[in-house]
Amino acid sequence: MAQDDIETPQRSTIEEEQTRLYRRFNAQGMQLTVRLLPPPEGEEDPNPMSHFLDSVTELFEYALRDLEDSDMIGITISNEVNVKDRAIGISFRRKDQITGDVIWSVFEKVAQSNARFNALDKLVMTVHSVKMPIGHGDDGIVTKGRSLECMARLKNSIVKVKAKNNYLAHALVIAKSKVDGDPNYNSYRRGYKMRPAVDRLLETTGKDLSAGGGVPELMRFQEHFKEYRIVVFGGLNCEDIFRRAGGIRKKN
């Protein structure tokens, strides 16, 4: 469902909505106080659990409407009326991983544990999200007053990717050629002979970097390069590690 098509939920009444930004951590918190509506009168053989699941799914779509598929999401639902009811939680995961099956498995566990959860009570849904950075190439990195381009000229260990698009794929091809001792390394770091190697990598992995490269793309490339470990730095400081992917620790 497209974001523009998601309107106010029809199966529940939103009594209060609060949003708070945590800019320092690139995170956001949203709290919805809602009351789910009962099945419509006259509905033949209504299934309360099915109606409840459909209502919560609709509520999730509304609460997550402005988030990207790569954002990390954590959700809890508690009962404001009866505090003894056990809170229902979905641990942090990417938005695109929060499917109907995931939602169903959470409520199924609650039912199996004999926990009481009155869906018609007033519910508080709390959504915490962390926006994952998506890289498009960055010329603005500065260290000790020197630009990235300047540092690339001064230090052989720093390479500036010379590309108009697919920066992540270019960077991986260059890094791999350096580790492997590829005779094309010097040509790659100067921006030559790159197109065939980059096209092969994108075709093999099935990734489209037209919208930039984020965590899902990094994870797919790490799966492809199993014998290597991809480390993403937030700058030119060796201790500024943004993400260290898994992989077999043979080559870095």
Q: Domain holding 18: CATH number?
A: 3.30.1490
CA dist 1 → 4, 61, 63, 75 (Å): 8, 9, 13, 20
Confidence of residue 12 (pLDDT cuts 50, 70, 90): confident
* Tokens describing residue 110: 């609650």
* 149 and 173 part of one domain: yes
In a domain, 217, yes or no: yes
Distance CA 81, CA 78 (A): 9
Sheet strand arrangement including 27-36: 12-22, 27-36, 122-130, 72-79, 88-94
Which amino acid makes up residue 183? P
Residue 142 has pLDDT above 60, yes or no: no
Within a domain: 230 = yes
Model confidence at 113: pLDDT above 70? no
Q: How would residue 87 be classed by pLDDT, with cut points 50, 70 and 90?
A: confident
Q: Does residue 121 have a pLDDT over 70?
A: no
Highest mean pLDDT out of 80-89, 134-143, 144-153, 160-169: 160-169
Is 60 exceeded by the pLDDT of residue 112?
A: no
Domain range holding 37?
A: 3-130
Three-state DSSP state, 207: coil
Residue 11 lies in a domain: yes
**What tokens does 1 get?**
């469902």
> Is 198 in the same domain as 110?
no
Residues 49 and 116 placed together within one structural domain of the fold: yes
Does pLDDT of 220 surpass 80?
Answer: yes
Average pLDDT score over residue span 37-59: 75
- Whether residue 84 lies inside any domain: the answer is yes
Euclidean distance between CA atoms 58 and 73, whole angstroms = 16
User: Mean pLDDT for the chain?
Assistant: 75
CA-CA distance, 89 to 40, in Å (whole number)?
28
Answer with the residue of higher pLDDT: 231 or 184. 184
Residue 119 to residue 56: CA distance in whole angstroms: 10
Average pLDDT of the residues in 9-22 = 85
How many domains are there within the chain? Answer: 2
Residue 124 scores a pLDDT above 60:
yes
Pairing of strands 12-22, 27-36: antiparallel
Task: Say yes or no: 21 and 115 in one domain.
Answer: yes
- When pLDDT is cut at 50, 70 and 90, the band that residue 148 belongs to is low
Q: Which residues pair with 77 in a beta bridge?
A: 88, 125
3-state helix, strand, coil in the chain (%, to 5): 35, 25, 40
Tokens read off for 173: 């091809």
Comparing CA positions, the residue from 235, 240, 24, 243 lying closest to residue 142 is 235
For the whole model, what pTM was predicted?
0.53
Residue 245 pLDDT exceeds 70: no
Q: Is the pLDDT of residue 140 over 60?
A: no
Q: Does one domain contain both 14 and 51? A: yes
